[in-house]
């Protein structure tokens, strides 16, 4: 699944996800179980993800990424106060 978003609310499941989200908004995918993902976010985004496999994250400009599901997280570039929160 390729996703370019301002606001997205997703449910279901996917083997892979490639999400690029810029200029503020929300990516809500807690109700979607994703195996592997590449996520690129910028400009004040909040993302909530449910991951089971591997996740690569690049974020800038105050992005908060909330991750559940205990994935292996590969941090790309995190800058401008961006954070990854796991639970």
Residue 4: strand pairing partners: 20
Report the C-alpha gap between 73 and 60 in whole angstroms.
17
Q: 44: pLDDT confidence band, cut at 50, 70 and 90?
A: confident
Between the alpha carbon of residue 23 and those of residues 6, 44, 86, the distances in Å are 8, 7, 23
Rounded mean pLDDT, 45-65: 95
pLDDT > 70? residue 2? no
Q: How many residues does the chain have?
A: 87
Q: 5: pLDDT confidence band, cut at 50, 70 and 90?
A: low
Q: 32: pLDDT confidence band, cut at 50, 70 and 90?
A: very high
Q: What percent of the chain has pLDDT over 90?
A: 70
Q: What is the pTM of this model?
A: 0.88
């Amino acid at each position: 699944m390729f996703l370019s978003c301002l606001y997205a609310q997703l449910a279901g499941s996917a083997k892979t996800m490639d999400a690029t989200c810029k200029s503020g908004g929300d990516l809500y995918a807690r109700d979607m179980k994703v195996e592997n993902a590449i996520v690129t976010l910028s400009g004040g985004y909040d993302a909530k993800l449910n991951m089971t496999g591997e996740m690569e994250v690049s974020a800038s400009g105050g992005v908060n990424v909330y991750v559940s599901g205990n994935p292996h997280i590969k941090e790309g570039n995190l800058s401008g106060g961006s954070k990854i929160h796991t639970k």
